[in-house]
Structure 1
């Protein structure tokens, strides 16, 4: 057992997982540090406005990217022996996303009044709709170089970029909230300016890895892979975040702020799982490529233990954190947080069968399962929220995560069984 632990601690997966965890957790940890400032200078209504815009940014950037960041992570390995082709591929993807996101953002701005009135009931379109568009574009563009860092397994660079970005955002946000009294706009302005700065920096750092041409054949190849992933990625947002968009139309903004605080804290666990997954997918893919299926299987088991141990431990920690870092007007979030964390634990297990299907490029199966769960989530939200308010959102999240896990697990078992039959017949 000790020998096995020593091997694990020395493995590249463990080192990268540790670094990805630190890098990915910097933003939520700084958000946790910022809670006394947010809850001290912003009332629940202002906090609800700020977090609702941040939630919508997560959704819009998914569509601006078309999940091509996932394609970069996967197809990077197909061009390992062709450095010039790899440069052409990466350059084509980067330019395509830049053009596509610019066109879509322009259309959204032209129809700001009609689209904004559909999105918001209690939130002013001006200026928050414009923050939504700007933040979504810059976040989508930054996701590409971050995906390339992951594919290259440059975990140190990944953590450096994430850490510096988070620190700069924190500093500017504090200045705008405390020094300029800009309220709910403070964090949004800071995120927009700093994210744009880091887009310029990271694109500059990756110049030598890119050939700025637009090869539509390579883009089409990636889109065929990534578009089926779009419902999968979007469903993750729908299940975890769409409830706040629906709640904005049925509860007062102050209650939305309470719920948003609990959801934000629970997202620390989700980001922790996601950061481990950032190391899991490239390492699992590489092991399967090399034929080390036994090691790949052990990797997934380790991840399962991580999900259980850290998930259970996070419940009392999160409850205490809310009590410690927030003012008493936010204490209502303490009753909500344990249930939301259970949903995050279920989501953690979901990454395991997805890693298998991701390697086999069975992205349509992932998309179908995720889409069904997301539709189910929206239906429950629409029915339950008007009746039981915040708890309708909580119930729908847990049920949708369980349904998605069951569907994707069944699909993964089916694919594994069919592959085993192919191997046996070939023998």
Structure 2
């Protein structure tokens, strides 16, 4: 017994383990607030209204990647590879690039809002939120890379909590409609963006707009192959709503969006796992080592996330009626399927770090595009058979395919780059 304790003690004191625990404490808190928010919304707004929030989320999904040209991964790599002064020059160029691309996105959003008048509000609001989240992600990347989990956790929890409080205030006290939920989220993100840029970092005070053609070309060359991947990723994660809108109505989209919101508990676990391990993985790969570590990480995380997903679904089976409003209870099977699907996506992201580090953006794009084609084909086949559950099953099949293929590609990259 004492031998086991003595072995565990050094592990507990290990920086990566402490970061892992720190991130997940806040993940659990944030997940609790998010699930409580969804529970509140399903008891106060109709599924049709939740459908509009679901469309808003689907538009927002790809906007930060579009505005940043998928260069967040490059920012993380540059923090590792560049000296501090050179990185700050890169950061200024990167933010300048984001400002230009965001301005273009706003023009496109305004034009689209006139064409799709029914969804004009969600298009404009998603574009504003996408801009705010893009700037926030720059700060988040630095927090992850410099191992500041407590600060990240406090910011993320504060954002989620303020968004929920504003939602309750607008809906319960001012009797506003579903649009107020989006306003609440926007207010929360903006408040904490200001705090991020001017009180918790030097990003705002040190920024100087620079039109650096060399840096812009560097960003474009890195991100260009990934833009197709972004669209394919959107198909993988968000196209289900439009399949349902085509085959059914906004009511079914609302049910599906609520289910996806509950299943985002698994998404949070996945994203926080990556935040903890990717700085360590990148450092190991930069030294041409870490093969055993990454393979062990993949196996252990696969087991862990599937167990968590199973336990979470069992809990929902017995207590789900307390979480969802009565009009949303038919969405419960969708939650089960999507939780397992997101578990496999989490497995994919562990081996996907190897592809990201070696900047194999074209290869990653091909991988995601193949999965997107698979989800489209299987959705068309499964919806007539399984109805509203068809897109969720299609997503599960595609994420399973993605995780398996990524694993074997990573093995090839280990061999090619002689990673030991």
The answer to whether the superposition gives a TM-score over 0.5 is: yes
Residue 147 of structure 2 aligns to a residue whose secondary structure is: coil
Residue number in structure 2 paired with 1:46 = 49
The answer to whether residue 163 in structure 2 is matched with residue 169 in structure 1 is yes
The answer to whether residue 223 in structure 2 is matched with residue 226 in structure 1 is yes
Match of 1:136 among 113, 130, 133: 130
Residue number in structure 1 paired with 2:16 = 13
The answer to whether residue 209 in structure 2 is matched with residue 206 in structure 1 is no
Go from structure 1 to structure 2 and tell me whether the alpha carbon gap of 1:138 and 1:245 turns closer, same or farther (over 3 Å shift).
farther
Coordinate RMSD, CA, aligned: 2.5
Match of 1:242 among 239, 243, 249: 239
1:92–1:216 CA contact under 8 A, matched in 2: no
Residue 175 of structure 2 aligns to a residue whose secondary structure is: coil
Deviation at 1:42, TM superposition (A): 0.6
Residue number in structure 2 paired with 1:84 = 85
Q: Deviations over 1:103-131 (max 9, x none)?
A: 221232134222x26xxxxxx23433322
Go from structure 1 to structure 2 and tell me whether the alpha carbon gap of 1:392 and 1:313 turns closer, same or farther (over 3 Å shift).
same
Any unmatched runs of 5+ in structure 2?
none
Residue number in structure 1 paired with 2:301 = 303
Quick check: 271-280 or 210-219, which moved more?
210-219
Deviation at 1:363, TM superposition (A): 2.7
Residue number in structure 1 paired with 2:212 = 215
Distance 1:25 1:356 in 2: 27
Deviation at 1:342, TM superposition (A): 1.7
The answer to whether residue 255 in structure 2 is matched with residue 258 in structure 1 is yes
Deviation at 1:179, TM superposition (A): 1.3
Go from structure 1 to structure 2 and tell me whether the alpha carbon gap of 1:40 and 1:211 turns closer, same or farther (over 3 Å shift).
closer
> Which residues of 2 match residues 147-186 of structure 1 at below 5 A?
147-186=141-180
Distance 1:413 1:189 in 2: 46
Deviation at 1:224, TM superposition (A): 2.9
> Which residues of 2 match residues 26-425 of structure 1 at below 5 A?
26-79=29-82, 82-114=83-115, 116=116, 124-204=118-198, 205-207=200-202, 210-212=206-208, 213-290=210-287, 293=290, 294-385=292-383, 388-420=386-418
Residue 417 of structure 2 aligns to a residue whose secondary structure is: helix
Deviation at 1:233, TM superposition (A): 4.5
Go from structure 1 to structure 2 and tell me whether the alpha carbon gap of 1:32 and 1:256 turns closer, same or farther (over 3 Å shift).
same
Deviation at 1:281, TM superposition (A): 0.8
Deviation at 1:175, TM superposition (A): 0.6
Deviation at 1:162, TM superposition (A): 0.7
Any unmatched runs of 5+ in structure 1?
118-123
TM-score in terms of structure 2 length: 0.90
Go from structure 1 to structure 2 and tell me whether the alpha carbon gap of 1:52 and 1:28 turns closer, same or farther (over 3 Å shift).
farther
Q: Deviations over 1:184-227 (max 9, x none)?
A: 11210111122122222222233269552343323433443333
Distance 1:314 1:233 in 2: 29
Q: Deviations over 1:342-392 (max 9, x none)?
A: 211211211222122222222322221011111221233345436643122
2:38–2:261 CA contact under 8 A, matched in 1: no
Distance 1:386 1:108 in 2: 34
Distance 1:297 1:11 in 2: 20
Q: Deviations over 1:20-78 (max 9, x none)?
A: 33445554421211234212211111122212212321122221221122211121111
